[in-house]
Chain A
Amino acid sequence: MRHLIPEFEKMKARYPAGFESSLVLPCLRRIQDDRGFVADSDIDGLVAYLGVPRVQVEEVLSFYTQLRRKPIGRWHVQTCRNVSCSMRGAERLIDHLRKKLGVAPGETTADGRFTLSTVECLGSCGTAPVVMLNDAYHENMSAEKVDALLGGLE
């Protein structure tokens, strides 16, 4: 994480003095974007940089579902299964993805390409069902569209 410190310093400039604790979550998010997950050495580095207790960093890591301690597949396929998406076919779509990828939600394909997850409402219910592929939303999805989307990926 050391190479990210200049970025963290820039971020800090817009916080009031004494808000170091607030930087835990944004720094963890940035570290994860960089490495794909948060490693033990990142926690050590962050504790030293921010001067916050280690337990605070660990608590934050275990509370927020988007943060992870282990690597996942190159492509993270997250399918919303809340009310509005289910009303427009999300359950069929999830079944399709299970069969297509041969894994259950929470699992990664053996070749390390895809991790399948289910998520709750993504705030995109008007274009249901919604699939998130890494950071990007893909809306109004169907089995055919998801095949086309995943088909072109490494």
Chain B
Amino acid sequence: MGGRKLLMTFPVTATSHTLADYRARGGYETLAKVLREKKPEDVTKEVAASGLQGRGGAAFPVGRKWQVVHLDDGQPHYLCANADEGEPGTFKDRWILENAPHLLLESMLISSYALQVRNAFVYIRGEFDLPYRRLAAAVEEAYEAGYFGTDILGSPFACDIVVYRGAGSYVCGEASALITSIEGKRGYPRNRPPRLTVKGLYQKPTVINNVESLSNVTGIVRDGAEAFKKVGTPKAPGTRLFSVSGHINKPGVYEVEGGYPFADFLRNELGGMLGGRKLKAVIPGGISAKVLTAAEIEPLPLDQPVFEAAGSTLGSGGMIVIAEGTCMVRLLQVMLRFYHHESCGQCTPCREGMGWLHRVIDRIVAGEGRLEDIETMHHVSRWNDGTTICGMGDAAGYATVAILEKFRDEFEYWIANKRSKCNGVLEVGNA
């Protein structure tokens, strides 16, 4: 169901996250083979040839990012796995951290070898408790077994790893903010250029990839780029982890092969809509992805280029399914409160814009909206376009415009009638 699997390939049991179980599944054999037989640049070539794209939101090719790092530049290089998982609707990296922490660690070791990294980091969101404990325990097991430290598996390769815990800031999931956070400062995003692969952590070349992106590396190196490309679609090879929440019968994390039809996914894996309601809309890739109406998403296969062509993205794989009867004005209000709260305040359009949008929508919900408010919100949302340091301002603006345009009638109704067209309800389906 949902096609072939590359990550969720084993049954989850009480011990499946341990080193013993991971080894029984062939764990760390790929690392041993790489250290014995491959040159660092061979690994990067394989990853580039696989066409693996980032799973953190922007779908940037992983190999192309790695190729910016020059192995002979005489500088230290750093690798960070992004386990901040802050994009609302997203909880898929948690599945890897809790159930396959050694897959991430083996992948990071292979990646560190490819990039000649001596010190690697995992930046994990501060609230995660079990995922942190599982990962930290796996790190200790791996040290004890000689996979980290010096002379790894009898080779000259040396690598240390630190699990770095955040402390409750959404913007720290943004790659440059993540770096300033690890430097022990406020997590403010940085202007680019210079790229982080040129000047990143402590001004040294740094590669940051999402947990799921990195976790695919072991399989790619073990089975080869060609085998990876046979899964999924030509322009978006492999599988994706989707974390699905909202008004469905079976929320959870699912691995889906690229190209699997959304309609089948909803019916077969997600168990259909809660209470047999009709589908109203889907936010396909974390709340910063543009909403798609039921009619827009129903015919689509789960394939990144297809979702981009439809004006949205699979983003972080955080899919929120919304049933008929949900008030989209209140939904946007929740989103804007969040963005306002999380704006780090460095860029005027983002700081002021998020505050303004939040105030306007609060006014509409209070029954004091004016018809021109809709135009104001459009206008303020577009301010951010390309004028901000990080992607948050932009994304929040696009997401806002999509809801305003596709559900304009609900905003007009609330302004004209001083009440919601859908009773202000976000929780539907149980009744």
Is B41 interfacial (CB-CB < 8 Å)?
no
Interface residue count on the A side (C-beta < 8 Å) = 46
Nearest CB on A from B210, distance (A)? 13
CB-based contact A128/B245 at 8 Å: yes
Is B187 interfacial (CB-CB < 8 Å)?
yes
Instruction: Tell me the residues in window 72-94 of chain A with beta carbons closer than 8 Å to chain B beta carbons.
Output: 81-84, 86-89, 91-92
Is A135 interfacial (CB-CB < 8 Å)?
yes
Nearest CB on B from A10, distance (A)? 12
CB-based contact A63/B165 at 8 Å: no
Return the contact of A24 from the options B76, B184, B322, B338 (Cβ within 8 A): B184
Q: How far is the CA of A136 from the CA of B161 in the complex (A)?
A: 25
CB-based contact A120/B170 at 8 Å: yes
Query: Known contacts being A59-B185, A125-B320, A137-B130, is A64 close to B89, with CB within 8 Å?
Result: no
CB-based contact B129/A123 at 8 Å: no
Interface residue count on the B side (C-beta < 8 Å) = 61
Is A102 interfacial (CB-CB < 8 Å)?
no
Query: Known contacts being A67-B167, A84-B320, is A123 close to B185, with CB within 8 Å?
Result: no
Return the contact of A87 from the options B166, B168, B246 (Cβ within 8 A): B246
Q: Spot the interface stretch: A1-9, A15-23, A108-116, A143-151.
A: A15-23
Is B62 interfacial (CB-CB < 8 Å)?
no
Nearest CB on B from A12, distance (A)? 10
Residues of B within 8 A of A137 (CB): 129-130
Return the contact of B168 from the options A19, A59, A64, A125 (Cβ within 8 A): A64
Q: How far is the CA of A60 from the CA of B247 in the complex (A)?
A: 38
CB-based contact A26/B186 at 8 Å: no
Query: Known contacts being A22-B183, A83-B320, is A123 close to B86, with CB within 8 Å?
Result: yes
Is B391 interfacial (CB-CB < 8 Å)?
no
Is B275 interfacial (CB-CB < 8 Å)?
no
Residues of A within 8 A of B318 (CB): 125
Instruction: Tell me the residues in window 150-174 of chain B with beta carbons closer than 8 Å to chain A beta carbons.
Output: 160-162, 164-170
Instruction: Tell me the residues in window 84-99 of chain B with beta carbons closer than 8 Å to chain A beta carbons.
Output: 85-91, 93-94
CB-based contact A126/B186 at 8 Å: no
Is B243 interfacial (CB-CB < 8 Å)?
yes
Is B287 interfacial (CB-CB < 8 Å)?
yes
CB-based contact B202/A135 at 8 Å: no
CB-based contact B186/A125 at 8 Å: no
Return the contact of A120 from the options B118, B252, B322, B342 (Cβ within 8 A): B342
Query: Known contacts being A83-B88, A120-B88, is A63 close to B170, with CB within 8 Å?
Result: no
Closest to A121 in B: B88
CB-based contact B251/A125 at 8 Å: yes
Q: How far is the CA of A113 from the CA of B287 in the complex (A)?
A: 35
Instruction: Tell me the residues in window 243-282 of chain B with beta carbons closer than 8 Å to chain A beta carbons.
Output: 243-247, 251-253
Nearest CB on A from B141, distance (A)? 15
Is B388 interfacial (CB-CB < 8 Å)?
no
CB-based contact A136/B129 at 8 Å: yes
Residues of B within 8 A of A126 (CB): 91, 243-245, 251-253
Closest to A22 in B: B184
Residues of B within 8 A of A89 (CB): 427, 430
Is A52 interfacial (CB-CB < 8 Å)?
yes
Q: Which residues of A contact B (CB under 8 A)?
A: 14-16, 18-19, 21-26, 28-29, 52, 56, 59-60, 63-67, 81-84, 86-89, 91-92, 119-128, 132, 135-137
> 12 interchain pairs (CB within 8 A)?
A15-B160, A16-B118, A60-B184, A67-B168, A82-B88, A82-B287, A83-B320, A83-B338, A87-B428, A88-B246, A125-B246, A136-B129
